[in-house]
A and B are shown apart, each in its own frame.
Chain A
Amino acid sequence: MSTQASPAYQPRKSTLVPTRLRSGFAIVLAGTILIAATMLVGSRVSEYYYLAAYTILQFIVLGTAWNILGGYGGYVNFGTAGFFAVGCYTTIVLNKLFQLPLLIDMAAAAATAGLLGLATGYLTLRLRGVFFSIATLALAIVLQTVIINWSFVGGARGVYVVRQEISGLFDSYAHLLVTLMVGLATCAVLAAWAVEKSWIGIGLAAIRDDETAAETSGVPSLRLKLIATTMSGALMGVAGAPFPYYITYVDPATAFSLAITVNSIAMPLIGGTATWWGPVVGAIMLGSVQQILTVTISSAANLFIVGVLLVLFVTAAPRGVVGIVRAWKRGRK
């Protein structure tokens, strides 16, 4: 073993340390451009494209939210639909009681869903990861049962939601929703990027690789996992908050739809869980495919394909598109 430095020793900048703020600026810039573009385009684009865009943007948020805990931390959430539905029904409850601006609904949804994430995490994250996953599955079903039995929000039969008035800035309600979603997606992706580059992301990566070794290296694993669960849950709730205004009729089957859960898992896994742009790529790719398929074939067949793609990628390309791109880049050097 050498006791002196190797010759021509170059101090190397750590690759893990956050020095590249370029990605963050790129995200903000892209988001701003998209919002501006959406505002300008207005009613010149058919409603159908707005609705398709809304769905894809919603999945960017959900996939990104899922990935903060799943990809970064290694803890799989099977209850995305539950958190999403909490966001929906927070809006519905607030709508029935008072008539609040959508942004307030979203803040309330974030708080409620975030608290739910915190509670679930606190109860189960001291156990093995699989118990957290099963608990999220359980949570979604318990929540659905509660909603079904709650007549105030319409129970199993569902409830109608009246869209609020739109200001002159927007040509239609769909226009407003999509603009809002672009903003939300930008914020979500920015949040994921910030987490990934920060001490939270580094700690989560250590936890994901080896939680015990992380603990004895000083990583406060429970604390970090709870932060991730809370953020993840809150983002999922926020994604759900505008949904009642989007579809105007909400019933538990739709809010708690399995399609939401499977997509929020499949999109990051196919796109790549290691970094913030994986879920974005996955959402755009898989979301677009589904939009096309749902029109041409049944929605059940569409979901079937999502499931098959999930299994294929997890088996054959576990690092997703991100992994493929990175391997290709390495091969070129």
Chain B
Amino acid sequence: MNVDILAAQGISKRFDGFAALTAVDFILRKGERVGLIGPNGSGKSTFVNCLTGIIASDDGSITFDGNDITATPAWVRAKRGLARTYQIPRPFRGMTVQENIEVPLRFAVGLRSARTISDAAQVILNQVGLADKADVSPKVLTQVELRKLELGRALAARPQVLIADEVMAGLSDSEVDEILVLLTRLNDDGISILLIEHIMRAVMLFSQRIVVIVAGRKIADGLPDDVMQQDEVERAYLGE
């Protein structure tokens, strides 16, 4: 399918005179796997925050599944099917792992009955491999487990689009592979994925298309091999 599920046009954002994003255009098609790369501080997280509704862009528009969501609050976007993970995991520390998963089930998906919510939560816990940690507090989880919890929470929202923001940062090679397998399976199930990562091998393996943002501007957008050969991209990563 070549339908756009998520589209952003002309997104700009300034903080205090500093231009974090300048006229960024972006498209994610249904079922696609897109990688977003760029040096630290290039504006990737700001872009994700604009897409998910945490901050409002100064300019531009965002469309989701055909609807304009530029002014839509973050929680409504989550209900519509736009989910994300956070670069630095942000679990609900006062709840157990399972309770964390149940929040989006209850609010984004809108499930009501206790039994339904609990069952659905356990399915997700199994999917991300946290079934045996259901009743523990996030405070005692390892980094990998926290990332899995982030993914689990995003999944629990039954998204059409999943934005995975540096979910593999700091993980070992085998852990990275675990997450890749999970993400690929999710994509097979129909979820469109925007992968923001620094781990190039993962990005190249996973993405059908790569977008590059440097200093707040999109400088490349195309097939992975093509993009990585472009001069500006090489310069941004390897220096002059």
Contacts and interface: CB of A to CB of B under 8 A. Distances in A.
Contact of B94 (A19, A205, A212, A222): A205
A167 interface: no
Interface stretch (A8-16, A139-147, A242-250): A8-16
Interface in B114-153: 114-115, 117-119, 121-122, 126, 128-129, 131-132, 134-135, 148, 153
Contacts of B73: 215, 220, 222
A215 B122 contact: no
Interface in B207-226: none
B86 A213 contact: yes
A16 B94 CA distance: 11
Contacts of A210: 90-93
A169 interface: no
A274 B95 CA distance: 12
Contacts of A214: 75, 92, 103
Contacts of B75: 214-221
Contacts, number: 124
A14 B117 contact: yes
Interface residues of B, number: 50
B78 to A, nearest CB: 4
Best-buried of A5, A16, A219, A221 by chain B (most CB within 10 Å): A16
A208 to B, nearest CB: 7
Interface residues of A, number: 34
Interface string A1-29: 11001100101111111110000000000
B29 interface: no
A227 B79 CA distance: 20
A189 interface: no
Given A202-B103, A217-B157, A219-B107, A6 B132 contact: yes
A15 B126 CA distance: 18
A16 B77 CA distance: 25
Chain A contact residues, majority secondary structure: loop
A220 B103 CA distance: 12
B126 A17 contact: no
Contacts of A13: 114-115, 118
A47 interface: no
B182 interface: yes
Interface of A: 1-2, 5-6, 9, 11-19, 199, 202-203, 205-206, 208-210, 212-222, 274
Given A1-B128, A210-B91, A210-B92, 9 more contacts: A1-B182, A9-B131, A14-B121, A17-B117, A199-B106, A213-B86, A217-B107, A220-B75, A220-B107
Q: Which 5 A-B pairs have the closest CB atoms?
A: A218-B108, A17-B114, A218-B107, A1-B129, A209-B92
